[in-house]
């Protein structure tokens, strides 16, 4: 099959972040399918184009067997709401051009993954002109998440966003959701027929974690990175409004009498403010690390006692699975889960960590001190999570399942 994917945040080789689609497309291309991606030139947590893209609007390159068309995204992307909105629209226009005139040839299907929701416009037009079915994927409920976090407040824009969402759902041949809660919301609240819905969730990339494990010297890595004698809790991911990482800093202050060290790995529009907050309040047991390649991310996770999955305390986030949770599973470390709803249910069902009420630093403090007093829980819960994810959330198995749905769509 020939598959076209529209994904604004498809990672570059070596980038950190959510690599769901990098792994999915690799599985598909390794299975003999021809995969072409139209992606943006600005990282989800970045603020400007990479040097190789400066002054350019379209660049084509190979990432393994996958052909990637990088297209223009405004560098105002992380400069407030207006800049972020223009970043979305600039990709909508540039991806439409690339999908029609750069990614030439006949495709069997177009897969469009959101957010941003507005990429659905270019996906729909490409599917219409090329006469191929569109699968629309929802990684995050939008505009709900933007409204709940206070990012989206303009009533007119909200009204347009909901109307556009309804239009795209109607035009998609299939809609893939990443969590059971998304599935229920679309079926019960947005009146999407179940025949149109499927659920291929986030998953663990065991191939990469196990490759890193083979030659990994944990003691040496901890020594070289100043982690020896620390109880290390790692957070990997965006440093944005939705993540509300202030809760980690507040917790760190309560744990200053212990050997707990928090590692915050990643980028985002809130990072500099958080670093200043840590400096001004003399919070010495939090270390900020810039985004690193995925392989190195796994090294930091393997060198940690626990992994943290945290988001702001809003109802919409009760519907999400976080990417980082599956990375922690694959590295056999237990999880501090400060996301209620389906993420909490996931960790509790797997017996792979402990739920902590979001933004409740006192509860964080209590739970972490319990692990310090009972270190035997770490290996037990880490192994539980690994085995549960291996059985239910193996990326390769789910990639094959996704392909089956695509084949059925094309041939029916």
CA 97 from chain center: how many Å? 26
Residue of higher predicted confidence among 264 and 117: 264
- pLDDT above 70: residue 81: no
> What average pLDDT score do residues 125-133 get?
97
Q: What percent of the chain has pLDDT over 70?
A: 97
Q: For residue 80, what pLDDT is reported?
A: 66
Residue 308: pLDDT band with limits 50, 70, 90: very high
Residue 78: pLDDT band with limits 50, 70, 90: low
- pLDDT above 90: residue 10: yes
Which of 194, 174, 172, 175 lies closest to 184 in space, CA to CA?
A: 194
- pLDDT above 80: residue 85: no
Kindly report which listed range (132-136, 267-271, 352-356) carries the lowest average pLDDT score. Answer: 267-271
Q: What is the pLDDT of residues 180-232, one digit of tens each?
A: 999 999 999 999 999 999 999 988 888 888 889 998 999 999 999 999 999 99
- pLDDT above 70: residue 47: no
Q: For residue 412, what pLDDT is reported?
A: 77
Q: What is the pLDDT of residues 67-76, one digit of tens each?
A: 999 999 988 7
- pLDDT above 70: residue 77: no
Q: What is the pLDDT of residues 261-289, one digit of tens each?
A: 999 999 988 999 999 999 999 999 999 99
User: For 195, phi and psi rounded to 5 degrees?
Assistant: -65, -20
Kindly report which listed range (18-27, 74-83, 151-160, 285-294) carries the lowest average pLDDT score. Answer: 74-83
Which domains are assigned to the chain? Answer: 2-203+394-411 (3.40.50.2000), 206-392 (3.40.50.2000)
Residue 101: pLDDT band with limits 50, 70, 90: very high
Q: How would you write the chain as a 3-class SS string?
A: CEEEEECCCCCCCCCCCCCHHHHHHHHHHHCCCEEEEEEECCCCCCCCCCHHHCCCCEEEEEECCEEEEEECCCCCCCCHHHHHHHHHHHHHHHHHHHHHHHCCCCCCEEEEEECCCCHHHHHHHHHHHHCCCEEEEECCCCCHHHHHCCCCCCHHHHHHHHHHHHHHHHHCCEEEECCHHHHHHHHHHCCCCHHHEEECCCCECHHHHHHHHHCCCHHHHHHHCCCCCCEEEEEECCCCHHHCCHHHHHHHHHCCCCCEEEEEECCCCCHHHHHHHHHHCCCCCEEEECCCCHHHHHHHHHCCCEEEEECCCCHHHHHCCCHHHHHHHHCCCCEEEECCCHHHHHHHHHCCEEECCCCCHHHHHHHHHHHHHCCHHHHHHHHHHHHHHHHHCEHHHHHHHHHHHHHHHHHC
Residue 46: pLDDT band with limits 50, 70, 90: low
Residue of higher predicted confidence among 328 and 146: 328
Across the chain, mean pLDDT equals 93
The residues with which 112 forms a beta bridge, in sequence order, are 6, 136
């Amino acid at each position: 099959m020939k598959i076209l994917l529209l994904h604004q945040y498809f990672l570059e080789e070596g980038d950190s972040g959510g690599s769901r689609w990098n792994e999915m497309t690799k599985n598909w291309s390794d299975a003999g399918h021809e995969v072409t991606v139209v992606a943006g030139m600005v990282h989800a947590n970045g603020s400007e184009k990479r040097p190789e893209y400066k002054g350019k609007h379209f660049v084509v390159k190979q990432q393994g067997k996958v052909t990637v068309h990088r297209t223009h995204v405004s560098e105002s992307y992380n400069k407030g709401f207006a800049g972020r909105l223009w970043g979305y629209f600039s990709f909508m226009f540039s991806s439409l051009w690339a999908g029609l005139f750069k990614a030439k040839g006949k495709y069997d299907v177009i897969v469009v993954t959101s957010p941003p929701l507005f990429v659905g416009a270019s996906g729909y037009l490409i599917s219409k002109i090329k006469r191929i079915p569109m699968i629309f994927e929802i990684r995050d409920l939008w505009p709900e998440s933007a409204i709940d976090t206070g990012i989206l407040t303009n009533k007119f824009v909200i009204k347009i966003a909901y109307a556009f969402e309804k239009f795209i759902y109607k035009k998609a041949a299939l809609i893939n959701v990443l969590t059971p809660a998304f599935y229920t919301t679309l079926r019960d609240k947005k009146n999407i027929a179940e025949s149109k819905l499927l659920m291929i969730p986030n998953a663990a990339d065991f191939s990469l974690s196990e490759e890193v494990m083979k030659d990994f010297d944990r003691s040496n890595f901890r020594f070289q990175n100043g982690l020896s004698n620390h109880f290390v809790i790692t957070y990997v991911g965006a440093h944005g409004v939705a993540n509300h990482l202030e809760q980690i800093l507040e917790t760190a202050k309560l744990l200053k009498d212990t050997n707990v060290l928090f590692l915050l790995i990643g980028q985002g529009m809130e990072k500099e403010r958080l670093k200043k907050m840590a400096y001004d309040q003399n919070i010495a047991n939090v270390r900020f690390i810039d985004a690193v390649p995925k392989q190195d991310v796994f090294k930091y996770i393997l060198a940690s006692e626990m992994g943290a999955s945290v988001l702001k305390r809003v109802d919409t986030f009760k519907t999400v699975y976080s990417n980082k949770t599956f990375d922690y599973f694959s590295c056999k470390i237990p999880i501090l889960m400060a996301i209620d709803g389906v993420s909490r249910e996931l960790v509790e069902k797997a017996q792979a960590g402990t739920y902590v009420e979001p933004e409740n630093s006192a509860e964080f403090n209590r739970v972490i001190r319990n692990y310090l007093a009972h270190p035997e829980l770490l290996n037990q819960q880490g192994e539980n999570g690994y085995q549960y994810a291996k059985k239910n959330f193996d990326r390769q198995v789910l990639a094959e399942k996704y392909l089956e749905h695509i084949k059925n769509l094309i041939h029916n």
